[in-house]
Amino acid sequence: SAVISQKPSRDICQRGTSLTIQCQVDSQVTMMFWYRQQPGQSLTLIATANQGSEATYESGFVIDKFPISRPNLTFSTLTVSNMSPEDSSIYLCSVGGRTYNEQFFGPGTRLTVL
């Protein structure tokens, strides 16, 4: 299994500002995933980030709002841009396992936008 860390673990931000969330994996992985979990809700996939190519966004998510970087095989960032209170969520990154399709998740970043 992979060990994944995220920074920051939580933050409180003002409307209109941006926050960059970091995800670090202890091994090289091809695909990394970013999810959003709104309060009391399930997880929704934002985008898939492959090293060396542009991220692939899911319906309802756009690059201008959630730009993603993937500079190497162990690291990725997700930026939540021009934040509004509706962006208050837990943001989680994950990586695929070596067998089948199980995924390993980071501890999440709890974001509150005032």
Partner 1 sequence: SQQGEEDPQALSIQEGENATMNCSYKTSINNLQWYRQNSGRGLVHLILIRSNEREKHSGRLRVTLDTSKKSSSLLITASRAADTASYFCATDAGGGSNYKLTFGKGTLLTVNP
Q: Which residues contribute to the site for partner 1 (CB under 8 A)?
A: 4, 31, 33, 37, 41-45, 48, 90, 92, 94, 96-97, 100-108, 110
Nearer to partner 1, 13 or 90 (CB): 90
Place of tokens 């730009």: 67
- Quick check: bond before 8 cis, omega within 30? yes
Per DSSP, the three-state class of 61 is coil
3-state secondary structure 69-107: EEEECCEEEEEECCCCHHHCEEEEEEEECCCCCCEEECC
Question: What is the DSSP annotation of 12-46?
Answer: EE-TT--EEEEEEESS--SEEEEEEE-TT--EEEE
| Shortest spacing between CB 111 and partner 1, in angstroms | 12
| Shortest spacing between CB 16 and partner 1, in angstroms | 25
| Shortest spacing between CB 104 and partner 1, in angstroms | 7
Nearer to partner 1, 40 or 85 (CB): 40
Nearer to partner 1, 31 or 73 (CB): 31
| Shortest spacing between CB 89 and partner 1, in angstroms | 10
Nearer to partner 1, 33 or 66 (CB): 33
